[in-house]
Structure 1
């Protein structure tokens, strides 16, 4: 059992505030992913949980016990670092065995755990090699394996797949998800990769500038983003935001056309968020819709996206059929599925309900 409570957590480096009062509850056996742009504080928060850096203000509770002053070795937490942090004089086997031996496990138990972790991470051929004889991706897998053999109550992973190639990243991501199901531990995972966040997480924590913007399931964040930051951070291609003016039951852009919307927030100006699936195109400039011009087409094999520049300069992607080709500079009319549109305040970016 591992339940974490972060209450008013602040982190200050000299006179610079990095975290500004983080409040978060993480339940037993949850897989929680911290996402956000570089410098938002997600790795710093992970280090505070691990006990590697002191908390400036606030409380961190693990299973109801205050952990602020408990050393890392006594927290029952294992961490995988982005920078590997392997012992250079030890081979792969010894690196993976070190933590397990400190736990007092006997030799058969250590060997069994290493065998399981090395099979999972495809490390069997490298167990007698030193870290300097491994590639960056292999070193990261060893770091993951070293944490796996400890089977901790809380498992912290700081961008553990960033040094792996695309194919192996996908394989190890699936193995991490399986590991979470098998061992039932609480996992906290830091990444900037949306695919990792959306596929792994029970709960996603979106961070920005040292604050939490929104906490929710992948579906909640995708379908009901709390503000424009979350709306444009979650989803690929990102949601397009268009500042539009209300005229009765229509929303329009100056000299750029308008679209009919049945239910609208009661404000004169707002930002409309539209994902590519909610956009359809027709050739030529029609009377009903937003007028635009094709910039380029992105062909991805099973998907294709046409990027259209609207009259106000906004570039909006639209998902089209893979054989539906649009040449650059083709004039088009953009229609929006109003039921799939999102509305945000033009002033502060908060979500508005119709």
Structure 2
């Protein structure tokens, strides 16, 4: 069992405030992903949970016990770093055994745990190899295995896939998801890649500038983002945000750029209209109702395509089309909005309306 409670967590480095009072509850066996742009404080928060850095303010509880002054080795937490941090002179077996031996475990228990971890991570044929004889994906599995043999109550993973190429990232991501299902432990995973967050997480914590913007399931964050930051960060391609004004029962783009209908409008005259690539359609009929635009370029992806168009106000918008529905650059088009698919945000503070 591993339940974490972070209450008013603050962290400063000299005169620089990095975290500004973070409150977060993490339940037992949850897979939680911290996501956000570089410098938002997600790795710093992970290091505070691990005990590698001291808190500036706030309290951290693990299973109801205050952990502020508990050293890292006594917290029952294991961390996998962005760099593999393997001992180059030790083979895979010795790398995995090193931490377990420091725990004072018997030789038989160490061997049993390594055998179990090697089986789960498919490392049995590699136990006698040195790190230099392994691929990047294999090294990362060894680093995960080294944490696994400690049998911690909480696993912390700090951007473990960032050093891998695209194919290996996909492979090791599946390994981590499978591992979580097998061991049933609480995992906290840090990444700046929202695709990793969407595919792995039970719960995503979106961070920005040392604060939490929103906490929720991948579906909740994708379908009901709390503000324009979350809306533009979650989803690929990113959501397009368009400045619009009320024109009767329609929303109008500045500069005679056309107007769209999104259903019943809330109070107010100015909004930010959020449009995902699957929420819009393109028409070659430039007299149709919608936003006027011209095609910039098309990305053909095999099973579908993304057509990027430039609106009159300069906004770049992505529209998903079929693989055979391609558009030449500079083609004039009209952007239409599918009913019930638009998001509205406040023009002043970016909050969801």
Q: TM > 0.5 between the two? A: yes
Tell me the SS of whatever aligns to 1:281.
strand
2:249 alignment counterpart: 249
> Per-residue deviation at 1:165?
2.7
> Per-residue deviation at 1:103?
3.2
How is 1:133-148 mapped onto 2 (pairs within 5 angstroms)? 133-148=133-148
CA RMSD, 1 decimal: 1.5
> Per-residue deviation at 1:119?
4.0
State how far apart, in whole Å, the 1-side matches of 2:123 and 2:203 are: 30
Corresponding position: 1:345 with 2:350: no
- Contact 1:257-1:287 within 8 A present in 2 as well: no
2:279 alignment counterpart: 278
> Per-residue deviation at 1:305?
0.7
1:264 alignment counterpart: 265
- Contact 1:137-1:163 within 8 A present in 2 as well: no
> Per-residue deviation at 1:129?
2.9
- Contact 1:273-1:342 within 8 A present in 2 as well: yes
> Per-residue deviation at 1:132?
4.1
1:300 alignment counterpart: 301
- Contact 1:299-1:305 within 8 A present in 2 as well: yes
State how far apart, in whole Å, the 2-side matches of 1:167 and 1:146 are: 23
Residues 152-175 of structure 1, C-alpha deviation per residue, up to 9 Å, x if partnerless?
100000011112232232222122
- Contact 2:262-2:337 within 8 A present in 1 as well: no
State how far apart, in whole Å, the 1-side matches of 2:94 and 2:221 are: 42
* Structure 2, unaligned runs of 5 or more: none
May I ask how many residue pairs the two structures share in their alignment?
A: 352
1:290 alignment counterpart: 291
How is 1:190-205 mapped onto 2 (pairs within 5 angstroms)? 190-205=190-205
State how far apart, in whole Å, the 1-side matches of 2:110 and 2:164 are: 26
> Per-residue deviation at 1:133?
4.2
State how far apart, in whole Å, the 1-side matches of 2:206 and 2:79 are: 20
> Per-residue deviation at 1:127?
2.1
> Per-residue deviation at 1:114?
2.2
- Structure 1 stretch displaced more, 140-149 or 213-222: 140-149
- Contact 1:2-1:186 within 8 A present in 2 as well: yes
State how far apart, in whole Å, the 2-side matches of 1:309 and 1:166 are: 30
How is 1:37-76 mapped onto 2 (pairs within 5 angstroms)? 37-76=37-76
Tell me the SS of whatever aligns to 2:89.
coil
> Per-residue deviation at 1:192?
1.2
> Per-residue deviation at 1:325?
1.3
Tell me the SS of whatever aligns to 1:340.
coil
* Structure 1, unaligned runs of 5 or more: none
State how far apart, in whole Å, the 2-side matches of 1:182 and 1:272 are: 43
> Per-residue deviation at 1:183?
1.3
State how far apart, in whole Å, the 2-side matches of 1:262 and 1:205 are: 31
State how far apart, in whole Å, the 2-side matches of 1:210 and 1:197 are: 18
State how far apart, in whole Å, the 2-side matches of 1:86 and 1:94 are: 10
- Contact 1:140-1:163 within 8 A present in 2 as well: no
State how far apart, in whole Å, the 2-side matches of 1:216 and 1:61 are: 21
1:183 alignment counterpart: 183
> Per-residue deviation at 1:136?
4.0
State how far apart, in whole Å, the 2-side matches of 1:302 and 1:58 are: 49
How is 1:1-40 mapped onto 2 (pairs within 5 angstroms)? 1-40=1-40
How is 1:117-266 mapped onto 2 (pairs within 5 angstroms)? 117-254=117-254, 255-266=256-267
